Chains A and B, each alone.
Chain A
Amino acid sequence: MRPDPQVQNGTGSHDHGTGPHEHAVDEVPHTHPDPGVDPHAPLTSPVPGTTRPVRVGIGGPVGSGKTALVAALCRALGDELRLAVVTNDIYTTEDADFLLRNGVLPADRIRAVETGCCPHTAIRDDISANLDAVEDLEVSLGPLDLVLVESGGDNLTATFSRGLVDHQIFVVDVAGGDKVPRKGGPGVTSADLLVINKTDLAPLVGADLSVMARDSAARRGDLPTVFLSLVDDPVAGMVADWVRGLLPARTDRRGGPAKLVP
């Protein structure tokens, strides 16, 4: 169900990083992450004057649209950034194969990590295989600006280790029910960006987006939330902008040679 825009604005149920603004009648409620403000300390590099790629984790429950979002970001950013992707499937190379089939990135820019029945272990407790994959990409491709790491579909408790990624996006979908943000969990509450995907399905599953907006604002405080339909927006414009905001200024980025992870 589309939320009533008047109720939306009346309750102020969503936050704007850059202050409130009007929404069109048919617009989905959303918050505006400010691409100009990076809340994190700059990346340290073992060698002064060089940088390693920014690593962004994309997690969330099974089927919420993580791979579709990775594909969208590749479409949006593939031409402007030196980009690579690591996927963590539960038991196949399905996600990597999807990206290849859709031609969003050449094969040599995609690595699939095998996770031994435990996708959350590979992104949180024992990140070695993922670090090896990132290192392999840097060795074979040279300097990179951005590495996207997709987690295997898991549950609401699965988040990335800060040893593996610099920032993380948590993707849930409206088809899982509008209760998901209320349930919370570390992914919903602490991810740097929460993406509520498949808003096009909301009327079909009776999900109330204004409830989801209110609950995620309550759970997440000042952290941004984006409502998205990858069917309607195949380049995930707002998420791509948020990612752009994470990267150092372009001149720095083209600087020295890539640094290997230690």
Chain B
Amino acid sequence: MTGLATLLVLADGRLPAGGHAHSGGLEAAVSSGRLRDLAGLSGFLRGRLATTGRITAAFAAAACVAARTVRAADADADADADAGHDDALDRHRLDALDEGLDARTPSPALRRASRVQGRALLRAGRAIWSVDPAQRDRHHPVALGIVAAAAGLPPAEAAVAGAYGTVSGPASAAVRLLGLDPYGVHSLLAELAGECDRLAALAAARAGDPIDLLPADSAPLLEIGAEVHANWEVRLFAS
């Protein structure tokens, strides 16, 4: 029986899945002078949730659906070797979702950051739940769908963890980097909670859509910032 507490475990910022080393583009925004205070952070988080957050929610939900189908098929095959359910389409769907994210992420630095975090999350998923050991190299949103499925969570919850993670990561980085008032920063997160829920519901409703119809919102400044950031000699965050 999987309940809300399992979602809390997966969405907890202290889950050892590599997130602490990434600022979600915040460090680049701070150093460029575009983000200095709580008001700047508020705008940054809204923009990030509407773009990266929306895509992450959509791909996490879609990957969760595909991964649940694969798991069910594997369980059937274990129970009855002659079940003959062909799950190749769903396995292929995970690959296609990965490619869909490649296409939506022009910056090689951001693609790397996403795969590094996907790999770390899958490692955590293998250690905590029963994630397929063959799943090692995935974009973070796809990894999130796979791990959520292994934890027994439905697509909407994979999506809400994804949407929330795209803002909670940079918010915590802002506390460390700018010394912002942590109550003020968490107030911003609380204000965005409703939007996270809304994006997650939309993502779950469209989780079976063709990949080309899934959200493709882009945030050019995040892409450009990530490329600049990757070339700094001295930086505090990996991305």
B221, CB-defined interface residue at 8 Å: no
Q: Do B21 and A116 touch across chains, with their CB atoms under 8 A apart? A: yes
B91, CB-defined interface residue at 8 Å: no
Binding site for A on B (CB under 8 A): 14, 16-23, 116, 119-120, 123-124, 126-127, 173, 176-177, 233-238
Chain A CB within 10 Å — which of B16, B17, B23, B176 has the most?
B16
- Shortest distance between the CB of A8 and any CB in chain B (Å): 45
Least CB separation from B23: chain A residue:
A116
A129, CB-defined interface residue at 8 Å: yes
Least CB separation from A91: chain B residue:
B236
Known: A125-B14, A129-B120. A115 touches B233 (CB 8 A): no
Known: A114-B21, A131-B123, A262-B127. A126 touches B237 (CB 8 A): no
What is the count of residue pairs linking A and B with beta-carbon distances less than 8 angstroms? 64
Cα–Cα distance between A262 and B136 once the two chains are bound (Å) = 11
A117, CB-defined interface residue at 8 Å: yes
Residues of A within 8 A of B126 (CB): 262
Cα–Cα distance between A118 and B124 once the two chains are bound (Å) = 19
Known: A92-B233, A114-B235, A117-B237. A126 touches B20 (CB 8 A): yes
Q: How many residues on the A side are at the interface (Cβ–Cβ under 8 A)?
A: 19
Residues of B within 8 A of A90 (CB): 236
Binding site for B on A (CB under 8 A): 90-92, 113-118, 121-122, 125-129, 131-132, 262
Other-chain residue from B16, B116, B173, B234 in contact with A92 (beta carbon distance below 8 A): B234
Residues of A within 8 A of B236 (CB): 90-91, 116-117
Cα–Cα distance between A122 and B237 once the two chains are bound (Å) = 12
Cα–Cα distance between A112 and B66 once the two chains are bound (Å) = 35
Residues of B within 8 A of A92 (CB): 233-235
Q: Do A114 and B18 touch across chains, with their CB atoms under 8 A apart? A: no
Q: Do B127 and A129 touch across chains, with their CB atoms under 8 A apart? A: no
Q: Do B234 and A91 touch across chains, with their CB atoms under 8 A apart? A: yes
Q: Do B16 and A127 touch across chains, with their CB atoms under 8 A apart? A: yes
Residues of A within 8 A of B14 (CB): 125-126
Least CB separation from B117: chain A residue:
A128
Cα–Cα distance between A244 and B173 once the two chains are bound (Å) = 41
